[in-house]
Amino acid sequence: MTNDRLKNLTLQQLEALIALVAERSFSRAARSMLLTQPALTKNIRNMEDYLGVKVVNRSNAGISLTPEGKILYDYAQRMVRLRKEACEKIQQMHENAGGDIYVGASTIPATYILPRAISELKKAHPEIRIFLKMEDSEEVMNMVLDREVEIGCIGKKPLNRKLIAEPLWNDRLILIAPGKHRWVKKEAVSLSELLQEPFVFREKGSATRDVFEKYLKENKSISLSQLNICGEMGSSEAVKEAVFAGLGVSFISVHAVARELARKTLCEIPVASCRIERELFLIYLKQFDFRLHHKIFVNFLRNHKAMLKNK
């Protein structure tokens, strides 16, 4: 017998041998495996043909194992037990709520939304760990596509068909100025006034910038080049600091300035006939295999409405 013959053995043949030893009868063993007796007999014969030795002695008194059969029976029990253990471990992995989740998010959800949500999630599910990485929306999409992160939260809908995009939260962009700006007491500023005022913007690739630019083009027939842009910043925090310092005004997510508006260090300036709204999206690959901890996290975000009532 050569080792190559062992490659032809199947788990069903090994299970047939185990059942035969347990039941001491071909007919009873076949019933226990939900097979016909000829099918079970064929499994044993094929096993003996592959090995080139007899493994079962057949007689009027019943069946017994040959010395080779006893060796094979011991290993068959181990292999079937290992298969059962592997199945149990895989099942436990899917039933276990614990696990690590790698999330990529653009500035607004990463800075002002997800930290609060993750904190509340941890109270109910301390076994789940979230690893959050912040980039602009374009880069987050690339990270999801490249499997650097499992789930993304961004401020614009991706066009790539490999991604599922689910609207998760609402957002509104507002015009902000320093608390003592000359526009503070005005009911609203006009578009012509807006074009003359120094502006601070997010960098290219930012969803906030893209949404604002698209709104101006589609609703006001205005390009960004017509505005008096005096600076570009890499984060919403930097934009707020620049506005607070008097560098210019800016459009920013209402979620990013909730504390500043409450403290009146920054103020919202109404703009005549202008309301810029958008959705924040949850994204993931179409082929992504959601395990239990991923499902818990995503469902928590879907149901966590209190933190993001649109203002």
CATH number of the domain that 198 lies in? 3.40.190.290
Q: State yes or no: pLDDT of 211 exceeds 60.
A: yes
CATH number of the domain that 75 lies in? 1.10.10.10
The Cα-based distances of 106 to 97, 117, 135 in angstroms read: 26, 15, 5
Tens of pLDDT along 33-51? 999 999 999 999 998 888 8
Q: What is the pLDDT of residue 51?
A: 87
Q: Which residues contact 151 (CB under 8 A, 6 or more apart)?
A: 101, 102, 103, 104, 144, 282, 283, 284, 294, 297, 298
One domain, residues 32 and 110 = no
Q: What is the pLDDT of residue 204?
A: 86
One domain, residues 300 and 153 = yes
Tens of pLDDT along 257-311? 999 999 999 999 999 999 999 999 999 999 998 988 999 999 999 887 545 544 4
What value does the mean pLDDT take over residues 216-223? 90
One domain, residues 127 and 260 = yes
Percent of the chain's residues with pLDDT above 70:
94
Tokens 């997510």 correspond to 253
Q: For residue 83, what pLDDT band results from cuts at 50, 70 and 90?
A: confident
pTM for the model stands at 0.65
Q: Which residue range is the domain that position 73 belongs to?
A: 3-94
Q: What is the pLDDT of residue 7?
A: 72
One domain, residues 154 and 207 = yes
Based on the structure, what is the number of domains in the chain?
Answer: 2
Tens of pLDDT along 130-155? 999 999 899 999 999 999 999 999 99
pLDDT-wise least confident of 22-36, 191-205, 240-254, 296-310:
296-310
Question: Any idea what DSSP says for residue 203?
Answer: P
Contact criterion met (CB below 8 Å) for 36 and 26: no
Q: If we measure between CA atoms, which residue out of 247, 155, 244, 261 comes closest to residue 208?
A: 155
Q: State yes or no: pLDDT of 1 exceeds 60.
A: no
Q: For residue 96, what pLDDT band results from cuts at 50, 70 and 90?
A: low
Q: What is the pLDDT of residue 310?
A: 41
Q: State yes or no: pLDDT of 222 exceeds 80.
A: yes
One domain, residues 110 and 246 = yes
